[in-house]
Structure 1
Amino acid sequence: MIKKVAARVVAALSLLTAEIVVVGGVFMASALLFFYLTRVVFVGQSVQFDNWAFGQLDAVRAAWPRLTPVMQALTFFASLPWLVAAGIGLPLLLRRWGHRREAWEVFAAVAGAALLNQVLKSHFHRLRPDSALIFQSGLSFPSGHAMIGLALYGCLAWILWRHRRHPIWGLLLLLFALLIGLTRVYLHVHFATDVVAGFAGALFWLIMLRGVFQLGFRDDGVRR
């Protein structure tokens, strides 16, 4: 009996250690990637990656021109109206269904990422590409669609995974967020470095948020 309990404890500790290593590694990698991109864009002033990405997607657009309306439709799902509706509506629904912790997680993911994105944009003050296919106001670095979109869909994916429900849907949500980021480069409303920086910022914020909620809530969703 004692041996079985000890084996379970060791197994649980090994899983916990692996989780800490993975999450900590992603946290550090996202922070380093964001810092590296600021050096590339604002210190080195390199546009090599941005021009390459534009060239690749321009070739796709030239080959399949009917793809453009699809990209315009997809990009809506990380637009300001959609994020406001999702950032308020989803938490209200989750709270109504009895998922109090998850409601706060989604709200904090969207609201925090939006606030952080505006602070970063104001600080770096990078102008948007002058070749945009659609009008888009505001600054460019990092991409709000990429950052807040991944914060929203990444948070929902994490909630699904934590409750061991529909892991495939969680993966699809992450892929959907990545696709939305791709639409921003396709439509020339963001440089590729803006989008990658937005993804890095979203991961950084989501992991910080995860740590805060693990400290503040028990597994049953009640505050500690």
Structure 2
Amino acid sequence: MKNLTTRLLALFSFLTLEVLVVGSVFLASLALFFYLTRVVFGVHSLTFDNWAIGQANALRAAWPPLTGVALFVTFFASLPFLVSAAVLVPAAMRWWGHKREALEVFMAVAGASLFNQLLKTHFHRARPATALLPQPGLSFPSGHAMIGMALYGCLAWLLWRHGRHPAWAALLLSWAVLIGLTRIYLQVHYATDVLAGFAAGLLWLILLRTALRLYWREKQQLLP
């Protein structure tokens, strides 16, 4: 009974403003993801996607050099970059003595990559036929948006949580969003793919962070 009471008190200690905000983001992301699956695979509506493609075409016609900028930005969530980041960033963190943070970043990228492939295989949506550059694989949800949000969102969280650097955290999140928008601009993904990628990336980050925090807290309590 005493052990159960201790565990309940430990659980209620998580009910802070931070947890309430994170919980709200989790529920909002979950609702958005399922809403998008309903729109794309239930109703089969392309209204929003066609509107986004039209906006991208208009923007490209008004400013042609933007295509080069989009190609540059989108590289920072490409497979070669993500593989390098998943190895080098955690290695640097371990070198600086941040072992837990290194593990969190690695699992954020690796887990999001695996989760993304599972979702793509399940939904099996083809990419837009109007893509500006050839891209293999399936479309829903966007890997660049999802894994990019996992990587940069994780780094943003660590900066804010440990260093209290909200400006840098906001910049990293904005960078992740910008990468996702380049996928719409280049028409290698529908807008609904990118929004679903953002939502799934946030879902994975929150689940991972919660699981690691509970694990480390339990492990600390078991230490003599």
Q: TM-score, normalised by structure 2?
A: 0.89
User: Number of matched residues?
Assistant: 210
Partner of 1:135: 134
Q: Tell whether 2:48 aligns with 1:33.
A: no
Show CA shifts across 1:171-207 (max 9, x none).
1000000000000000000000000000000010000
SS, match of residue 134 in structure 1: coil
Shift of 1:222: 11
Partner of 2:66: 67
Q: Distance between the aligned counterparts of 2:222 and 2:76, measured in 1?
A: 32
Q: Structure 2 unaligned segments of length 5 or more: list them.
A: 1-11
Partner of 2:119: 120
Q: Tell whether 2:18 aligns with 1:19.
A: yes
Q: Structure 1 unaligned segments of length 5 or more: list them.
A: 1-12
Show CA shifts across 1:129-182 (max 9, x none).
000001111000000000000000000000000112432111100000000000
Question: Counterparts in 2 of 1:41-80, with a 5 A limit?
Answer: 41-80=40-79
Q: Distance between the aligned counterparts of 1:222 and 1:96, measured in 2?
A: 27
Q: TM-score, normalised by structure 1?
A: 0.89
Q: Is 1:101–1:217's contact at 8 Å kept on the other side of the alignment?
A: no
1:203 to 1:223, Cα distance in 2 relative to 1, 3 A: farther
Q: Distance between the aligned counterparts of 2:36 and 2:201, measured in 1?
A: 14
1:195 to 1:171, Cα distance in 2 relative to 1, 3 A: same
Shift of 1:217: 2.2
Shift of 1:57: 1.5
Q: Distance between the aligned counterparts of 2:186 and 2:154, measured in 1?
A: 26
Identity value in percent: 65
Question: Which residue type is aligned with residue 73 of structure 2?
Answer: L
Shift of 1:18: 2.0
Root mean square deviation of aligned Cα: 1.9
